[in-house]
Structure 1
Amino acid sequence: MAEQDGSNGAVEQAIGGADNMPQVGVVAQYVKDLSFENPNAPAVYQWQGQPQMDVQFNIGAQPVGQDLHEVVLKVEISAKADEGTAFQMELLYGGLFALRNVPQEQLQPFLLAEAPRILFPFARRIIADATIDAGFPPLLLDPIDFASLYMQRAAQQQAEETGGQAGEVTGQA
């Protein structure tokens, strides 16, 4: 009996220690908004040239409950040719992340670098499917290194703060 009590105490201590470990989980992924405009149909399907693509990304994160955060990946795409706009698309793809025991200094890097990395393949597929459904070849976006973008923006923001300048950090991916 004494051996069992000792082993139960060790198990409880191990479990209790695990409760203090950082834990991350994806609760849900979802399309918040999807807009596809094809203003020059049906003439656009007779255009000969390849349109120029402009792809913009924005990442937003906000707490929505205790240990619960929403991360939204916003993708805006504009395809323009000499003849006019081929199509415009906007996708807001969200993820609900449960975060427990994540140190404060690691919270923002997770929400703005790692969470978008998790969401991106699903948003990429939705974009490809939407372009196919609109009668265009699939638009397969290149993978994005969100960690590098986060580090660049953090360094830029720190440089601006050190230089006495204030403002938001914006950019293209």
Structure 2
Amino acid sequence: MADNQQAAAGSEQATQPQFALQRIYVKDLSFESPNSPMVFQDQWKPQVNLDLNTTHSKVSDTQYEVVLSLTVTAKLDEKVAYLVEIQQAGVFLMQGFPEQQIGPMLGAYCPNLLFPYARESIDNIVSKGSFPALMLAPVNFDAIFAQAVKRKQQEAEGNGAAAPEAPQTH
């Protein structure tokens, strides 16, 4: 009887969804300070702009690569003080999840895990460029993903086509 219970427990574990972060890495990183050293003579009151994008691709049946791309531009008046571009990536194991959960995980949950690493890399490279530290504010990837889904649904209704299950966020 104990063997039957163990076998049942084993089969339940096999069907339970599994999620694991397998690797986090910087895929690409760029820093430019086109107006240095003159930019250091100006009073430091920058206008900072953040652009972000996420993409994902299937690596294997159970692994996905998610890439969070951030571009930070700091300007003093119209002069670019610095420009940082980073692609922070991760490989995620996802097994046993219903199809409808994969999209939100790839579009919101995984980028949310990657963001602190990208933020730290940006702060580090900006400081090494001799600029004041830059700590980016948190980003609500759930809201961004929900907006992307809504936008894709509206586009699909306008074109008469079916909406994709996991839209890319922009």
TM-score of the pair, normalised by structure 1: 0.89
Cα displacement (A) at 1:27: 0.5
Cα displacement (A) at 1:111: 0.4
Measured in 1, the distance between the counterparts of 2:169 and 2:92 equals 25
Q: Give 2:164's aligned residue.
A: none
Kindly provide the amino acid, as one letter, of the partner of residue 152 in structure 2. Answer: Q
Cα displacement (A) at 1:64: 1.0
Runs (4+) off by over 3 Å: 169-172
Cα displacement (A) at 1:103: 1.1
Q: 1:32 aligns with which of 27, 44, 61?
A: 27
Is the 2:54–2:69 Cα contact (8 Å) retained in structure 1? yes
Q: 1:102 aligns with which of 82, 85, 97?
A: 97
Cα displacement (A) at 1:77: 1.1
Count of residues in correspondence between the two structures: 167
Q: 1:101 to 1:33 in 2, by over 3 A?
A: same
Q: Give 1:122's aligned residue.
A: 117
> Which residues of structure 1 form unaligned runs of 5+?
1-5
Kindly provide the amino acid, as one letter, of the partner of residue 12 in structure 1. Answer: A
Q: Which has the larger radius of gyration?
A: 1
Cα displacement (A) at 1:170: 8.4
Kindly provide the amino acid, as one letter, of the partner of residue 136 in structure 2. Answer: L
Cα displacement (A) at 1:165: 7.2
Task: Name the SS for the 1:129 alignment partner.
Answer: helix
Measured in 2, the distance between the counterparts of 1:54 and 1:98 equals 33
Q: Give 1:85's aligned residue.
A: 80
> Which residues of structure 2 form unaligned runs of 5+?
162-166
TM-score of the pair, normalised by structure 2: 0.91
Q: 1:73 to 1:142 in 2, by over 3 A?
A: same
Kindly provide the amino acid, as one letter, of the partner of residue 13 in structure 1. Answer: A
Is the 1:67–1:100 Cα contact (8 Å) retained in structure 2? yes
Q: Give 1:3's aligned residue.
A: none
Cα displacement (A) at 1:82: 2.0
5 Å-filtered alignment, 1:14-93, equals: 14-82=9-77, 84-93=79-88
Percent identity over paired residues: 34
